[in-house]
Amino acid sequence: MSWLLVFGGLCLLVILHEAGHFFAAKATGMRVEKFFLFFGPKLFSVKRGETEYGVAAIPLGGYVKITGMTAEEEVPPEALERAYYRQPVWKRIVVIGAGPAVNIVLGFAILFVVALTSASAATQTVHEVVPKTPATGVLKPGDTILAVDGRRYPGLGSEARVERFREEIASHRCTGKQKEGCIASTPVVLTIKRSGQIQRVSVKPEYSAAAGQALVGFSFDSRPIDIGVGTAVSRAGNFGWLVVTETVKRFARIFDPKERKEISGIVGVSDVGHQTVELGAAAALTFLALISLSLGLINLFPFLPLDGGHIFWSLVEKVRGKPASLRVMELASVVGLILVAMLVVIGLTNDIGRLTGEGFHVR
């Protein structure tokens, strides 16, 4: 079922992207011939008015065919005035930019909903004890951490108090160099409440290189909180901006071998999506938002055949007062196709390596 949800979510993003082009073209008076999900041979279609709606056989992307996308295209005389290339530059930019805009707005909207409805704050209650860590056999889920090394931090709320507890645990260091798996030289004394009884237990933290500090090996429980619309907007904006900057950086570093290893193709996206769906609705929606934002942003890069390439050449036409030559645009499209092909090949190559190696990890 989770695979179907992932597939359905990705299809929805494609449909909404193409719907942006479709409705913008209709609104500006252009003639839309086709609205298809996927590419390749047609599986089935239905015609409503002047537009054919259908599904193709190869489940990658989708497209909207607008009459007269280039001046060389043969256009029926009755449709000439509604052809894409006969429209003012601003109309063409609106139509092409509408697809990525839908994905970007949708991504931020999802992040806002997740932030508003899924905000939580840590409590002092133990949620989970990680197996094979110092906490194993010492702490139990449901224990309440009252103090660390005798410090209770009265007057602080649970969230701030938990953060102080973490800092206190992290102050216990290994003898010599801090390295993965080393055990702290001094134990942490935890004052806990278990089944109504106050107890003190001692445990020596273990250094984690990933966390950059010593850990006991448990997680705190959390409770839902109301953060308000303003904070939700801020969190969605900050997270979305992080996606924007990381997407641009990753694309810019496509020739860096280390960065290339982080690129995923459709297999990787689907597999991570499948795992994310199993983590719950909030994680699945966040994943969908990230893909939507990335889809919108990548499509805005100024290379044909991406949407950004069409916008770029429309702006060039506006500045020059006339369209660029077909030869120049063809050469530019070759560069764009090479970059897109590189992304696809690198993504699929990495996917194959992960599938035959350690796989995809989101947990």
CATH code of the domain in which 192 resides: 2.30.42.10
Give pLDDT, residue 145: 92
Q: Are residue 128 and residue 216 in the same domain, yes or no?
A: yes
Q: Do the domain assignments include residue 46?
A: no
Question: Where among 183, 204, 224 does a domain terminate?
Answer: 224
Residues 282 and 334 occupy one common structural domain: yes
Split at pLDDT 50, 70, 90, the class of 199 is very high
Same domain, 132 and 110: no
| Domain contains 74 | no
One domain for residues 144 and 278: no
Residue 55 lies in a domain: no
Task: Look at residue 150 and tell me if it is in a domain.
Answer: yes
> Domain total for the chain?
2
Lowest mean pLDDT across 118-132, 135-149, 231-245, 268-282: 268-282
Among 60-74, 102-116, 268-282, the range of highest mean pLDDT: 102-116
> What is the predicted pLDDT for the residue at 285?
81
Whether residue 277 lies inside any domain: the answer is yes
Same domain, 211 and 315: no
- What type of residue sits at position 169? I
- Name the phi and psi angles at 151, rounded to 5: -95, 125
Higher pLDDT, 100 or 337: 100
Are 88 and 150 found together in one domain? no
Please check whether residues 108 and 182 belong to one and the same domain. no
Q: Do 207 and 168 belong together in one domain?
A: yes
Quote the CA–CA distance of 218 and 189 in Å, as a whole number.
15
What's the rounded Cα separation, in Å, for the pair 258 and 263?
10
**Which pLDDT does position 2 carry in this prediction?**
56
Residue 268: other Cβ atoms inside 10 A: 21
Residue 100 sits in which domain range?
83-117+235-356
Burial 163-201 (b: 16+ CB within 10 A, else e): eebbebbbebbbeeeeeeebebeeebebbbeeeeeeeee
Query: Does residue 278 lie within any of the structural domains?
Result: yes
Residue type, 128: E
Query: Cα separation of 205 and 289, whole Å?
Result: 37
Domain end (from 173, 201, 224)? 224
- Say yes or no: 271 and 196 in one domain: no
Regarding whether 241 and 112 lie in a shared domain, the answer is yes
The answer to whether the bond into 305 is cis (omega within 30° of 0) is yes
CA separation, residue 50 to residues 22, 33, 53, 137, 176 (Å): 13, 6, 10, 70, 76
Q: Mean of the pLDDT values across residues 76-89?
A: 90
Which of 195, 224, 253 terminates a domain? The answer is 224
Q: Please state, in angstroms and rounded to a whole number, the distance separating the CA atoms of residues 293 and 144.
A: 40
Greatest Cα pair distance, the chain, in angstroms, is 88
Q: Is residue 240 part of a domain?
A: yes
What is the SS3 assignment for 134? coil
Q: Are residues 108 and 186 located together in one domain of the fold?
A: no
